[in-house]
Each structure stands twice: as C-alpha cells, then as structure tokens.
C-alpha cells in the first residue's frame, strides 16, 4: 500500500484484537499493513487523521486472512462516508474501533535513536544546560544464551568457597555468646542479687524467640549483610541504611568491649604488668585484624579451637565448683539468700532488671546472619541451635555456682568473679587457666565483630553505597584488606573517643545491641507484609509473629510510608545545585562537579526481570527504582522458554510509553530465550556485565522451584 490511505471513500471492517480492512481495490488488510508498516516503523503512506467518521454496527463477516485469537470476536463495523464533518460540540465520543485504530497510529511514533529525551520546558537551573539530567531513547533487542554460557554459569554458581559446617560457624559468633560470662556476671548480680541465675535463664530463653525469626529470613534471603540486606529487600534504602549503621556500630562495639574487657581482666590478675589495660585492648584489636586477613574458613578453625578450649575449661570449673559446694555445704548460698528483696514488687523488679542486663550478655547471636553465605544451607539452623545450647549450658548454672561459693560482697566488688571462683574451688592453677581462657575467648569475640562488620561493608560496596575499593582483595588469601583496615581504624577511633573507658564503650554497646535486636523482628514484619501484598508465600511457609507482632507493628506501622520514600542522592544533588545557583558557589564550578558526580552515580545500569506486561506493575517498578536508585538506564528483561511460548503482547508498547514517561532514564527491553532461574540470571549477568546486586525481580509465587537465596544477590522488590 504505497498510496495514501483514503479518509472517507473506502469501506472498512474492523474486529478486535486484530483489525481487518477490506479494500475495494485490493485484498490488503490492516493485519498486512501492520506487518509491513508498523513493525518496521515505516511511516510511508500514513496520513494524520484529523477526524474519523462515525462507525455503526454491521452484520458479522468472517475476516479475511485473520490471525487466530483465543478471545471471542466482537461485531464488525462498517465505515460509511459522511456528508460533512460535524461540529466538535455535537460529535459523539469515539467508538471502540476508532480508539483501537488511533492506538495503532500512536505506536508508530519514531524517536531519534541517539537523541536525548529533552522536554520542552526550560531548565530549572538557568546557569546550566537542559540536557544534563536527560537520557537517550531506549531500544528493543533479542538475546540468546548459548549452552556453553549456561554451563559456565552453572559452574560459577556451584563453585563457591568451601562452606562451613555447624561447628565452625557456631564458633565465630559463639565466642561472643559464651565469652559474656566474664563481663556480664557482676552487672547482673548488682541488679538481681540471688535471683541472678533465674534472670540469666530467662534472658537466654529469649533467644528461642529470635531463632525462628533468623531461620525464616535466612531461608528466604540467604545473603551476607544481616539487617542491611533484609531491610533493603523489604523497604527502601533509608531504613536499610539505618540498619546498616546500627549493625556496624554493634560490630565495632562488640570488638571494642571484648578487647577492653580482656585488657581489664588481664591487668586485674597481673597488676605488675608494665602496660596499661587500654594498650592491651589495642594490641588485641590489631592482632585479630591480622588474623581476619586470612580467609574466613581458615580463621574459623582458630575460633573453633578457642570455643573447644573455653567449653572445656568452663566444664572443669563447673565440676570443680559442684564438688566444692558439696564439701562446704549450704551456708554461703543461705547467707546470700538472706540479702534478697523482701517485697513482691522488689523481687519482680530485680528479676526484670537482671533479665534486661543479662540479655546483653548473649551478644554474638545477632552476628550470625552477617556471614550466612559462608555457612552450608543445612547447617544454619543447627548453628543457631548450638549457640542457644551453649548460652543455656553456661550462664545460669555458672551463676548459681558463683552464689553457692562466693559471698555477695566478693561478687559485687568488681573482681574477676570466675577467676576467684576457680581459686576457691581448686586453687591458683585453675585460676591462671581461667584467665588465659578469658583472654582467648574474648579475642574470639573481637573476631566475631570483625567478621560482622567486614561482611556488612562488603555488601555496601556491592550496592555501590561505598566505593569499590573496599572490595580489593589480597592476592594470596582473597580477603578484602581495605575493609579490614577500615574496620580496625573505626574500632580504634571509637575506643579512643571514649577515653579508653570500658564503662563508656559498654554503654554504647548496650544501646546498639538492643537496637540491632529490635530491628530483627521489624524487618521480619516488613517482609511478611510484603509477602502478603504479593499474595505469595516465597520461602516462608507459615507466618506467626511469636508474640512480637503487635510490638513490631507499633514500631514499623507508622513509619511504613516513610521507609518507602528514602532520601535519594539525586535529590541531594539537585538541592546542592539549587544552593549553588543562589550563592557565589556557582563561580567555583561546584555545579559542574556535582553534575560529574551524578553522572558517575548513574553510570551503572539496572536490570528488572519481568514476566507480564501489566503497565501498573511496570510503573511500580520504575517508581521504586527512581526512589531508591540512581541510574540512567534500566533494562527490562523477559525470558521465554521457546518460540511457541507467547510473549506478552503489550510489553513492547508499554515499555515505549514508560520510556517517554521517564525522560531521565533510558528504558531498554531485552527478550532472552531460556527458562527463568538462577542459572539464566547468572548467565545474563555475565553477558550484560551487570552484577546481580543490580538486578531486581518481583516476589516469586509458591510454585517457584528455587529459593531467593539461590539467586545470590538479586533484590526482590514490590511491583
């Protein structure tokens, strides 16, 4: 059809969804016209239709060369000439067929392939060009993944570092859990007196509430980074950044408190040492940082040895104390019982205060999700169970033995309680053994904080929150040495800013630990809410709030909307540009540097895996990206199994519409042949050169054969 389309002289038959045109001069149809003109984006022979005539129903006629469609056909319409155009005020609304035809004309719009999507509005910054914040037009492409590429991707997924079993994994964070007996006992005794064993027992049992929470989230999102990763999956980057800051401070405080406690314990036992306790703590921090430069698996062998030594020494101490208790009788514990509070309110308050302080003594449990990728999937649950067993085995029984053999004055004097207990039960040799064990296990607590902080920093670097220099590995061990060095520097700064005071860093540690533990049920509630909104069960097969749901709702409910609208670096940059234009800073080319910063941030593209063509879902995905990411290019990738599988009919058209709706972002559409899964995602990540940390997907359905953790970094967003 090389000639122009006549406006009123031909009779048309139109059906939906395929429009057929019967021409008096030939057999051409709109289907033929669509194949030859619309798909090739050729505008030849198309008029700008100023006004289409009115359509009226006509008897149904089988379409000529019509494509098969599963939907039922709608009545055809016949186009008749009209004598004269009607006035707009008297003209009836457009018919269905007219709207369909105008949609076809709309989708033939051609955009400049390499031009910018600059809007006609003037720039908001008069001293800058208008094209700095606009991107080019997107395109549509097809991609095929060869079998050898899929095989290499599968090998990369299976070729991971040697994963740790339950005992090595338990030893890393377990040293922090079991090492608390050296610094928590005097504080708990001051709050609960003779009720301290009961308070410690209740505090350890609280971990049974957190264990199913950790298990559910670890099964659904098996990624390093702890609270940051979980909150990033469930909300925006603002709440995730808060979680990252709290987790990092908790890791630093754990290391500093453990090192400072070891220094104080050693100085208290050997007062003649020519070195101050804060210097001992600094040396311990530096030594553990050097150990952390070795790979995590080899370091876990050292921590496992420390845990075994500590549990052995504590078992010997408990057995010796039981024998000594049987020899001395009940006089000491009876005297301690006489010092208890007498009123019921006083007893309840002392137990409550002891539980609150004793819960601080199980620090280390929250560090386990930070290195979950290094733990075998089947060993994560037993790892948490082992931590719970160790805490229950040591804390309450040891505290009971302390009150059975030591008077309250000795316990509250601030002396090294367990070393005194060892000397009373056996003698000086066991006391020295307990002191050595104290230094070793607290060194393990320092290592637990280092591992947690370094894994978190690496996650932030993968997300480009921090520079990529933090991922630079050592040639021999492959450990990110910049991360370890930065953590050591931060720990020293925190310790020095507290005037090397154990009391001050312990106070900071208490606040950060409790806030971090509070975040765990919060992000679980947010994930449950997201799963409900997605109508999917994902990897969480049952939802029970374990008595914390109402509390979590009170915390997270009012801030739900705020958490989904975080601060965007692009917004911050625009504020800086506005301030620059209003002040003399523009003369110093501050605006040029800000624009260069924005362009560097927007350099990394984003991939969104889509299954359907629903425009509302696509818009939600783009709104999420615009709120949380700084990107100038977004690739929507759709995977289809084979040529017989139908590709969503409106996907291409809707992506083009969104490409116009977001002038600052280039929207590309990529069709890839293959079955959507971890292997295909890994292969496309390698082919496109885009890390999986920059790939998004919606929450999979209950029949999805893979867990979210198997995608190793793909973020789940709500769209």
In a domain, 481, yes or no: yes
In a domain, 547, yes or no: no
In a domain, 553, yes or no: no
Residue 615 belongs to a domain with what CATH number?
3.40.50
Calpha distance 424→682 (Å, rounded): 61
Identify the segments of the chain with pLDDT beneath 50.
1-85, 532, 534-567
In a domain, 349, yes or no: yes
At residue 57, φ and ψ (nearest 5 deg) are -65, 150
Distances (CA, A) of 43 to 139, 255, 417: 18, 69, 88
Number of CB atoms found within 10 A of residue 494's CB? 18
Whether residues 319 and 415 share a domain: the answer is: yes
The pLDDT of residue 100 is: 57
User: Which residue in the block uniquely carries the two structure tokens 């929507």?
Assistant: 636
Tell me the DSSP string of 454-498. Answer: HHHHHHHHHTTSS-GGGGPBPTTT--BHHHHHHHHHHHHHHHHHT
Q: Kindly state the tokens that stand for 604.
A: 């990394």
In a domain, 229, yes or no: yes
Whether residues 377 and 387 share a domain: the answer is: yes
In a domain, 311, yes or no: yes
Domain termination site, one of 62, 87, 110: 110
Calpha distance 423→125 (Å, rounded): 76
- Residue 638 in 3-state DSSP? strand
Whether residues 284 and 305 share a domain: the answer is: yes
Residue 17: cis peptide before it, omega within 30 degrees of 0? yes
Domain termination site, one of 519, 537, 558: 519
Whether residues 260 and 404 share a domain: the answer is: yes
Whether residues 376 and 230 share a domain: the answer is: yes
Residue 508 belongs to a domain with what CATH number?
1.20.1740.10
Tell me the DSSP string of 423-448. Answer: HHHT-HHHHHHHHHHHHHHHHHHHHH
In a domain, 542, yes or no: no
At residue 609, φ and ψ (nearest 5 deg) are -85, 125
- Would strands 55-57 and 666-673 be described as parallel, antiparallel, or unpaired? unpaired
Whether residues 126 and 216 share a domain: the answer is: no
- Residue 87 in 3-state DSSP? coil
Whether residues 615 and 466 share a domain: the answer is: no
Whether residues 596 and 651 share a domain: the answer is: no
Domain termination site, one of 484, 502, 519: 519
At residue 623, φ and ψ (nearest 5 deg) are -65, -40
Calpha distance 513→524 (Å, rounded): 17
Whether residues 80 and 185 share a domain: the answer is: no
The pLDDT of residue 462 is: 82
- Can you give the pTM of this predicted structure? 0.68
Q: Kindly state the tokens that stand for 225.
A: 């980074």
Query: Which runs of E-coded beta strand occur in 63-205?
Result: 77-79, 140-144
Whether residues 640 and 492 share a domain: the answer is: no
Whether residues 343 and 284 share a domain: the answer is: yes
Give the neighbor-by-neighbor strand order of the sheet with 633-640: 140-144, 666-673, 633-640, 606-609, 695-697, 715-716
Whether residues 383 and 511 share a domain: the answer is: yes
Total structural domains within the chain: 4
In a domain, 550, yes or no: no
The answer to whether the beta carbons of residues 598 and 573 sit under 8 Å apart is: yes
Calpha distance 606→599 (Å, rounded): 15
654 is in which domain, residue-wise? 113-144+602-719
């Amino acid at each position: 059809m090389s000639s122009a389309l006549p406006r009123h002289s031909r009779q048309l038959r139109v059906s939906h969804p395929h429009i057929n045109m019967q021409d008096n001069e030939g057999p051409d149809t709109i289907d033929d016209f669509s194949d030859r003109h619309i798909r090739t984006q050729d505008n030849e022979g198309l008029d700008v239709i100023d006004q289409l005539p009115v359509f009226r129903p006509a008897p149904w006629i089988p379409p000529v060369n019509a494509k098969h469609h599963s939907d039922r056909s709608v009545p055809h319409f016949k186009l008749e000439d009209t004598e004269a155009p009607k006035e707009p005020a008297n003209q009836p609304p457009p018919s269905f067929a007219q709207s369909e035809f105008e949609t076809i004309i709309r989708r033939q719009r051609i955009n400049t392939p390499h031009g910018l999507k600059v809007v006609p509005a003037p720039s908001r910054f008069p001293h800058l060009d208008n094209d700095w914040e606009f991107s080019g037009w997107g395109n549509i492409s097809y991609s095929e993944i060869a079998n050898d590429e899929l095989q290499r991707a599968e090998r990369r997924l299976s070729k991971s570092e040697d994963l740790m079993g339950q005992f090595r994994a338990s030893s890393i964070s377990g040293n922090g859990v079991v090492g608390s007996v050296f610094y928590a006992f005097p504080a708990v005794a001051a709050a609960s007196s003779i009720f301290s064993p009961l308070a410690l027992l209740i505090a350890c049992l609280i971990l049974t509430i957190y264990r199913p929470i950790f298990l559910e989230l670890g099964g659904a999102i098996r990624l390093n980074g702890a609270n940051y990763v979980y909150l990033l999956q469930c909300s925006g980057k603002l709440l995730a950044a808060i979680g990252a800051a709290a987790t990092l401070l908790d890791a630093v405080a754990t290391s500093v408190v453990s090192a400072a406690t070891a220094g104080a314990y050693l100085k208290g036992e050997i007062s003649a040492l020519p070195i101050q306790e804060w210097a001992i703590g600094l040396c311990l921090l530096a030594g553990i940082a050097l150990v952390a430069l070795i790979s995590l698996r080899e370091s876990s062998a050292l921590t496992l040895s420390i845990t075994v030594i500590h549990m052995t020494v504590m078992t010997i101490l408990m057995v010796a104390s039981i024998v000594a208790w049987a020899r001395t009788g009940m006089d000491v514990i009876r005297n301690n019982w006489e010092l208890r509070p007498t009123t019921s309110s006083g007893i309840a308050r002392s137990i409550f205060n002891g539980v609150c302080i004793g819960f601080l003594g199980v620090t280390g449990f929250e560090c386990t999700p930070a290195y979950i990728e290094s733990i075998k999937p089947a060993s994560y649950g037993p790892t948490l169970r082992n931590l719970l067993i160790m805490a229950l085995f040591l804390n309450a029984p040891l505290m009971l033995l302390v009150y059975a053999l030591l008077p309250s004055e000795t316990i509250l004097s601030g002396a090294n309680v367990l070393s005194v207990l060892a000397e009373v039960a056996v003698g000086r040799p066991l006391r020295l053994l307990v002191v050595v064990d104290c230094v070793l296990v607290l060194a393990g607590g320092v290592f637990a904080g280092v591992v947690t902080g370094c894994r978190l920093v690496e996650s932030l670097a993968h997300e480009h929150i921090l520079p990529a220099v933090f991922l630079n590995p050592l040639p021999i061990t492959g450990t990110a040495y910049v991360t370890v060095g930065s953590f050591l520097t931060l720990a020293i700064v925190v310790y020095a800013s507290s005037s090397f005071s154990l009391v001050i860093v312990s106070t900071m540690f208490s606040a950060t630990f409790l806030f971090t533990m509070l975040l765990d049920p919060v992000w679980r509630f947010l994930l449950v809410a997201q799963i409900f909104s997605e109508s999917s069960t994902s990897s969480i097969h049952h939802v029970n709030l374990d008595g914390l749901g109402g509390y979590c709702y009170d915390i997270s409910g009012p801030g739900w909307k705020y958490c989904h609208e975080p601060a965007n670096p692009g917004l911050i940059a625009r504020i800086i540009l506005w301030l620059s234009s209003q002040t003399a800073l523009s003369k110093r080319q501050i605006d040029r540097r800000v624009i260069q910063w924005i362009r560097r941030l927007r350099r990394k593209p984003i991939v969104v895996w889509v299954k359907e063509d629903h425009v509302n879902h696509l818009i939600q995905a783009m709104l999420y990206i615009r709120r949380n990411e700084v990107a100038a290019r977004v690739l929507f990738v759709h995977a289809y199994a084979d040529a017989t599988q139908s590709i969503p009919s409106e996907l291409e058209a809707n992506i083009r519409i969104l490409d116009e709706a977001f002038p600052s972002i280039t929207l590309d559409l990529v069709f890839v042949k293959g079955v959507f899964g971890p292997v295909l995602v890994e292969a496309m990540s390698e082919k496109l050169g885009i890390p999986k940390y920059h790939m998004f997907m919606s929450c999979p359905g209950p029949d999805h054969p893979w867990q979210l953790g198997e995608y190793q970094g793909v973020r789940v967003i709500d769209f």
